């Protein structure tokens, strides 16, 4: 009988090798002392956070590497945290997008602690990647942010937000692709106010949005802000705000004006500077309101950068003025560097458009000015009455009459304001009730019954119009999976988490319905 030799591969798979047959017998039991969680053999710890540890492991049933997210025992003892963990884990498992590290399963270890089995990504975090690639051109930096935005958009379409976007949660694969990790976990373990049991705000201070820092409710625009802070660091190599303590940093996100990126790195192009400043607006209503516009502007900025970089000499190609590596040429660029087939031609081979003729512009300007002056003279030219006296033109007489009738604007009374507010409140209730009915229609016709749509889904499918999904103040209603599913209006002030928000459960139960203002309340406010 042939002798058997035990072989332990680097990934942690144990096989027996038969030298006579020259073959591996296949997986066997792990060696004594190997750490096991369920059927997963632990190789090493690859990360640790406030909620638990992330481990590299091997699935002994498939011989494939996986990542294990095991929450700490203290968190596992909290029943509310466990329920939220299970609910959010199910939502995160529904995400299937090439830019998001997939969650395969939720299981429990021998002590009953739940853990997640996730896709193992052979890549490096973005913060380490950018330190190892200081010569990365602006087009590649834009492409990284573009891929992250595409992944966040896919999650938002399933009513899932990340709440902790930062460079360490973005992995860059050897091929240059992007994978977002830790989806939904921070949200699943804490309550809807974003405050933990120790009064610590969920999120990372250097990338946290102002509304997160203030403990208010958040939506996808908070992820856009954090992605903007990450983008800021990519092009300037420093955080947008810094301080001696986490609280000091968060207060700067809330109160301090943002220094535009081009003032830190003068090489930052104007379009990229504009995109970052808009992503990081203090007021969520002043940021990009959806990912469609953000993705469109990032794609345009990427094309512009590629066009310019391919025309520049190599010594000017890179964002920070470093010596260009071999990968800088379009032929040698990684696949993700030209994502989604945006570049199908060599832009540098296209001829530059001829500059406009200055003579033509001058002639057109003079002709236009003469035409405007003639028209004004014709309308304003005085006329003569029957007695031969000069009279103002009909247009001039109309203007003078109008000026004579101008009165200061009349201030509305408290009763008029109260009547208008009552109408807006009634409109908001009606539109929320209509949206709740449309959610039921969506769930009856959608591929996955019971899944909550977004407002954008209802509009896209023709189930509701834009007017029907706005409140009485013209703001879009919000559908969120928080609390088992809610439909909300941000009310008069447009700020989430205040007393005039309208909140209904997806089943139609009203949780918070502000009353219309009375004339007496309006007088007090005045």
In this predicted model, which residue has the larger pLDDT, 506 or 471? Answer: 471
What are 171-205's pLDDT values in tens digits? 999 888 999 988 754 443 333 433 333 334 556 88
Cα end-to-end distance, the chain, whole Å: 98
Asked if 95 and 158 count as a contact pair (C-beta separation under 8 A), the reply is yes
Predicted confidence (pLDDT) at residue 132 exceeds the cutoff of 60: yes
The mean pLDDT value for 352-379 works out to 71
Give CA–CA dist 229/279, Å, rounded: 8
Q: Which H or E run includes 69?
A: strand 64-71
In this predicted model, which residue has the larger pLDDT, 312 or 223? Answer: 223
Task: Fill in the DSSP letter of residue 101.
Answer: P
Give CA–CA dist 8/10, Å, rounded: 7
And the tokens for 478?
Answer: 């919000």
468 in helix, strand or coil?
helix
Of the candidates 487, 469, 467, the residue with the CA atom closest to the CA atom of residue 479? 487
Which residue in the block uniquely carries the two structure tokens 């330190």?
A: 131
Annotation marks residue 164 as catalytic? yes
Give CA–CA dist 279/253, Å, rounded: 13
Phi, psi of 63 (to 5 degrees): 65, 25
Asked if 140 and 318 count as a contact pair (C-beta separation under 8 A), the reply is no
Evaluate the CA torsion angle 116, 12, 168, 52 in order and state its sign.
positive
Give CA–CA dist 153/88, Å, rounded: 17
Predicted confidence (pLDDT) at residue 315 exceeds the cutoff of 70: no
Query: By mean pLDDT, which of 49-58, 81-90, 309-318, 413-422 is the weakest?
Result: 309-318
What pLDDT, on a 0 to 100 scale, did the predictor assign at position 210?
94
* CATH architecture classification, 35-119: 2-Layer Sandwich (3.30)
Domain positions in the chain: 35-119, 124-349, 354-379+391-403, 414-525
The mean pLDDT value for 414-427 works out to 89
The mean pLDDT value for 367-380 works out to 73
CA 126 to chain centre: 17
Asked if 57 and 116 count as a contact pair (C-beta separation under 8 A), the reply is no
- Pairing outcome for strands 64-71 and 178-180: unpaired
CATH number of 124-349: 1.10.510.10
Asked if 431 and 471 count as a contact pair (C-beta separation under 8 A), the reply is yes
Asked if 162 and 225 count as a contact pair (C-beta separation under 8 A), the reply is no
Q: What is the value of pTM for the model shown?
A: 0.54
What pLDDT, on a 0 to 100 scale, did the predictor assign at position 13?
37
Out of 59, 143, 153, 164, pick the active-site residue: 164
Give CA–CA dist 253/145, Å, rounded: 21
Give CA–CA dist 357/151, Å, rounded: 45
Evaluate the CA torsion angle 135, 128, 204, 108 in order and state its sign.
positive
Where residue 341 falls among pLDDT bands split at 50, 70, 90?
Answer: very low
Where residue 66 falls among pLDDT bands split at 50, 70, 90?
Answer: very high
What pLDDT, on a 0 to 100 scale, did the predictor assign at position 521?
81
And the tokens for 150?
Answer: 């595409």
Q: Angle of helix 394-405 relative to helix 358-380, nearest 10 degrees?
A: 80
Task: Fill in the DSSP letter of residue 470.
Answer: B
In this predicted model, which residue has the larger pLDDT, 329 or 171? Answer: 171
In this predicted model, which residue has the larger pLDDT, 472 or 313? Answer: 472
Predicted confidence (pLDDT) at residue 338 exceeds the cutoff of 50: no
The mean pLDDT value for 450-475 works out to 88
What pLDDT, on a 0 to 100 scale, did the predictor assign at position 249?
93
């Amino acid at each position: 009988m042939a002798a058997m030799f035990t072989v332990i591969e680097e990934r942690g798979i144990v096989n027996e090798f038969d030298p006579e047959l020259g073959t591996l017998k296949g997986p066997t039991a792990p060696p004594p002392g190997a750490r096991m969680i369920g059927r997963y053999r632990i190789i090493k710890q690859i990360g640790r956070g406030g909620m638990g540890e992330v481990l590299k492991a091997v699935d002994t049933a498939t011989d494939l590497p996986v990542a294990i997210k095991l929450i700490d025992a203290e968190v596992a003892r909290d029943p509310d945290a466990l329920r939220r963990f299970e609910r959010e884990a199910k939502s995160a498992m529904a995400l299937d997008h090439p830019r998001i590290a997939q969650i395969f399963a939720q299981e429990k270890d021998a002590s009953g602690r739940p853990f997640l089995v996730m896709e193992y990504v052979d890549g490096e975090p973005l913060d380490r990647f950018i330190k190892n690639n200081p010569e990365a051109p602006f087009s590649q930096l834009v492409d990284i942010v573009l891929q992250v935005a595409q992944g966040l958009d896919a999650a938002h379409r399933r009513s899932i937000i990340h709440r902790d976007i930062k460079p360490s949660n973005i992995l860059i694969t050897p091929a240059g692709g992007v994978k977002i990790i830790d989806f939904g976990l921070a949200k699943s373990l804490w309550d809807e106010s974003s405050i933990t049991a120790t009064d610590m705000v969920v999120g990372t201070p250097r990338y946290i949005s102002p509304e997160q820092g203030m403990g208010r409710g958040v939506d996808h625009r908070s992820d856009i802000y954090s992605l903007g802070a990450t983008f800021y660091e990519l092009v300037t190599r420093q955080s947008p705000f810094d301080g001696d303590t986490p609280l000091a940093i968060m207060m700067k996100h809330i109160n301090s004006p943002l220094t535009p990126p081009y003032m830190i790195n003068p090489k930052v192009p104007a379009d990229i500077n504009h995109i970052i400043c808009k992503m990081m607006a203090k007021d969520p209503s002043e940021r990009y309101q959806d990912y469609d516009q953000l993705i469109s502007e990032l794609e345009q900025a990427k094309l512009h950068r590629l066009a310019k970089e391919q025309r520049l000499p190599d010594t000017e190609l890179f964002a920070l003025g470093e010596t260009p590596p071999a990968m800088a040429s379009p032929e040698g660029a990684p696949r993700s560097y030209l994502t989604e087939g945006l570049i199908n031609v060599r832009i540098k081979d296209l001829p530059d458009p001829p500059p406009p003729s200055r003579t033509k512009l001058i002639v057109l300007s003079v002709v236009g000015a003469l035409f405007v002056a003639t028209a004004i003279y014709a309308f304003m030219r005085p006329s003569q009455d029957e007695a031969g006296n000069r009279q103002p033109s009909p247009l001039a007489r109309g203007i003078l009459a109008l000026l004579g009738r101008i009165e200061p604007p009349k201030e509305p009374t408290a009763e008029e304001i109260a009547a208008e507010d009552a109408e807006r409140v009634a409109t908001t209730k009606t539109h929320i009730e209509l949206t709740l009915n449309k959610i039921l229609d969506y769930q009856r016709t959608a591929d996955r019954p019971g899944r909550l749509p977004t407002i954008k889904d209802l509009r896209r499918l023709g189930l509701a119009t834009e007017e029907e999904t706005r409140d009485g103040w013209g703001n879009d209603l919000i559908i969120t999976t928080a609390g088992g599913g809610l439909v909300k209006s941000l009310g008069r002030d447009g700020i989430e988490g205040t007393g005039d928000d309208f909140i209904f459960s997806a089943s139609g139960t009203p949780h918070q319905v502000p009353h219309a203002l009375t004339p007496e309340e309006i007088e007090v406010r005045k």
